[in-house]
């Protein structure tokens, strides 16, 4: 009995740029994004953007916060973090370098990807800080990149009151209020 190999196309950024709808591209594979997020997800994204923007403004940092911007990782990989911080030269179209911080807000349809494939991708691309926010549990997991290139789970550094700060490599400090993010 012979087995037929399953054909799986390999797409590139050039293909991706012509698609309609809401997609990401992971190592040549088209990933359909879920329908628009529910209200708690979008409120959390807005709260994170406000907290980050306040920190960047007060700290006079050479960084900017983005929500929903495409990050072209390589010729066959494009992701769209819920929130990210980019320092130094700012993109004029899409981001083409790793952000210093990425945040994914979990939903039922994205939790497995955010905790698995995206975490691995962000670690491999040396994103300094990766936060995973769970609106249902009102919990934040924080992964900090170590000099070894591997993430350390820094979640235990978040005190019970939910106030914590993340220091970026350029000296900027971002202040977060976990409770405020889920208000």
pLDDT in tens, 81-136: 999 999 999 999 999 999 999 999 998 878 888 899 999 999 999 999 999 999 99
Alpha carbon distance 41, 37 (integer Å): 6
Specify if 29 maps to a domain.
no
Which region among 32-41, 66-75, 139-148 has the lowest average model confidence (pLDDT)?
32-41
Specify if 80 maps to a domain.
yes
Specify if 66 maps to a domain.
yes
Specify if 72 maps to a domain.
yes
pLDDT digits (tens, 9 = 90+) for 48-77: 999 999 999 998 899 999 998 999 999 999
Specify if 18 maps to a domain.
no
How crowded is the C-beta side of 120, counted as CA atoms within 13 Å? 6
Specify if 106 maps to a domain.
yes
Q: What are phi and psi of 126, to 5 degrees?
A: 65, 40
List, in sequence order, every beta strand (DSSP E) within the chain. Answer: 23-26, 29-32, 63-66, 71-74, 77-79, 83-87, 101-105, 129-134, 139-145, 151-153, 163-167, 173-177
- Residue 1 scores a pLDDT above 60: no
Specify if 168 maps to a domain.
yes
Q: What domain range is 153 assigned to?
A: 36-181
Residue 84's CATH number: 3.90.1570.10
- Split into its structural domains, the chain has a count of 1
Specify if 12 maps to a domain.
no
């Amino acid at each position: 009995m012979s087995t037929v190999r399953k054909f799986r196309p390999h797409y590139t950024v050039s293909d991706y740029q012509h698609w309609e709808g809401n997609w990401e591209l992971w190592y040549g594979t088209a990933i359909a994004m879920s329908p628009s997020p529910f209200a708690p997800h979008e409120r959390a994204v807005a709260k994170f953007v406000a907290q980050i923007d306040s920190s960047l403004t007060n700290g006079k940092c050479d960084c900017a916060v983005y929500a929903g911007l495409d990050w072209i990782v390589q010729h066959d990989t494009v992701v769209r973090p819920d929130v990210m911080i980019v320092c130094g030269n700012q993109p004029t179209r899409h981001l083409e370098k790793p952000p210093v911080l990425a945040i994914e807000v979990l939903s039922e349809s994205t939790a497995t990807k955010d905790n698995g494939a995206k975490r691995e991708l962000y670690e491999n691309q040396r994103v300094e800080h990766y936060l995973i926010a769970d609106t249902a549990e009102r919990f934040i997991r924080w992964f900090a990149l170590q000099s070894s290139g591997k993430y350390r789970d820094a979640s235990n550094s978040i005190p019970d009151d939910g106030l914590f700060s993340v220091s970026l490599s350029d000296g900027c400090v971002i202040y977060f209020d976990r409770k405020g993010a889920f208000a």
